[in-house]
Structure formats: structure tokens, C-alpha cells
Amino acid sequence: MNRIFACSLVLLVAGCTAAAPESAGAPVAVATPSARAAFDMGPAYFPGPLPAGETLVGAPPAAGSEAMKRDEALSAAGLALHGTERFRLSAADANLGPGGVNGAFSCTAGVAISDAATPAIMHLLRRATADFGTSTSGVKARYNRARPFTVNDKPTCDPASEEALRHNGSYPSGHSAIGYGAGLLLAAVFPDKAAALTRRGIEFGESRRVCNVHWESDVEAGRVFAAATFARLQSDPAFREDLARAQAEAKGSLPAPTSCAAEAAALAQG
């Protein structure tokens, strides 16, 4: 992952460091602990923004429009969940560092997705989430939309990231693209759980609205970018090879020993 790519990722922290190249089939090597703590991702299969991404979505909703009124109403609904288990889950979903994305999907997959238990799946997930995360960056820069917490002056689920997010466009949501893309990816790895994994990917993005760092239209646009990026990945031989290895590994994976009741209850709150 080169420095430009690392800096363009989702910009949840101030500053960037370069990451070392990843060898085929091996966990990604990151140059510094601080970089790894922010993003547990590998080199993208197709680094950079999705080509012609601006043709996928229009401009974000204009002030006073019906679409903006919908964004504001759904933002208020998200704010009403602050302090609940759903709000705490949104804080967990904000984590893109070690244990973040893989941990968010382990319950739904029914498998403890980790370097120790599923190295091939982790390799695929790390690389592809980098593609999903950077796919939105061109359109983000084009519109540089203000995030809801800067408009409503209400708290977020991740205060430590607020200063960096103030200077990073809200539309489309890179987190939503990562979550929905990871759901699609893992649905291909665990096809018997495709619907549930795709739904968890949607909820991963909705956590950003509950967290008060994205509008609903940001989240929805992120899903569009994830779908296009997932389709694009199918054309890459390295991706297809990594996917085949992950699918083979999934067939021999042991069930996760933990209960998912708490996560299910949190998601049921809205």
C-alpha cells in the first residue's frame, strides 16, 4: 500500500504512514503500530477511487429538499438511539483496526474470523476492504459534504475521530462501502448465510447514521459504490484466486463458540 493510497483511505485519524507490500497469501504487513491501529487493511486489488464513480450517484441532497428532510428525520431517529445497545454497537462498527471488520461479521458468519482460525479469509477481507474503502474517495473530495455532527452539534459514538472527520467529506460513506462490500464478499465465502451477511453489511453502514457521523443518503451511496467495486473485483485474477482459497477454507472452519444474542438484540433496536 503506497502512501497516497493509505492517506486516501477513510481518514479517521490525522496523519498517515506507509505500509509494506503484502506477499500472496500472507497477512498484511504494516510499517508502524499506529497505522495498523487505524486500518487493518492490505493493499487494494485496484488502488484508488472507483473510475467514473461520479456517474453512479448524483450530488448529495440540497438544503430544504425532500431528500434532505428525509436525511434530517433519519438522523434524528439515530440520535434517539444514543446510549442504547444499538449505539454501542455503532461504536464497535466504527473500528477499522485489528478485530474490527472481521469481528463485526463473525457472529453472522457463525465462524470466528481471525488470523489464527481463518488466515485465507482474513487475507481476502483485508485486501478487498481497502478497495471498498477507497472507492468513494473521488466523490467525497468532489462534494466535501458536511457531516451531521458538525451541523446538529450533537455527540458521536467516536469522539476521538471527530476532529479528523470534520475535514473529510461525508458523501458517500466509506464505512458503509466497507461494511456492505464486506457483507457481499463474505456472502460469497459463506453462501449458505448470504442473506444474513449482506444484511449485516447494511447494518454496518447504518451504524454510521446512528453514530451521527453520516447522513442516510451518504450510507446508501456507499452501498452503491460497494456493489460496483465488488463487481469490478471479479475481473481480477488475484482476487478470484484469493476468493477460491477463502471459500475452500470456509468449508473446514469451526463454528464460533460465542453467542450472538447480544448483537441481534442491539440490531433489533433500530
Radius of gyration of the chain (CA): 17
Taking residue 151's Cβ as centre, other Cβ atoms within 10 Å add up to 13
Decide if 153 is catalytic: no
In sequence order, what are the beta bridge partners of 111? 255
Decide if 214 is catalytic: yes
Of the candidates 2, 135, 141, 143, the residue with the CA atom closest to the CA atom of residue 59: 143
Amino acid at 162: E
CA 270 – CA 249 distance, rounded (Å): 34
Backbone phi and psi for residue 111, each to the nearest 5 degrees, phi listed first: -135, 140
Burial class (CB within 10 angstroms; exposed 0-12, middle 13-18, buried 19+) of 35? buried
Of the candidates 63, 217, 213, the residue with the CA atom closest to the CA atom of residue 139: 217
Backbone phi and psi for residue 19, each to the nearest 5 degrees, phi listed first: -115, 150
Catalytic pick from 175, 200, 209, 245? 175
Backbone phi and psi for residue 146, each to the nearest 5 degrees, phi listed first: -70, 140
Catalytic pick from 214, 223, 242, 245? 214
Decide if 82 is catalytic: no
Catalytic pick from 86, 126, 208, 245? 208
Decide if 232 is catalytic: no
Which segments within the chain are labelled E, that is strand? none
What cell does 69 get?
428532510
Q: Residue ranges of the alpha helices (H) in 158-193?
A: 162-165, 174-189
Catalytic pick from 218, 223, 242, 245? 218
Catalytic residues: 175, 208, 214, 218
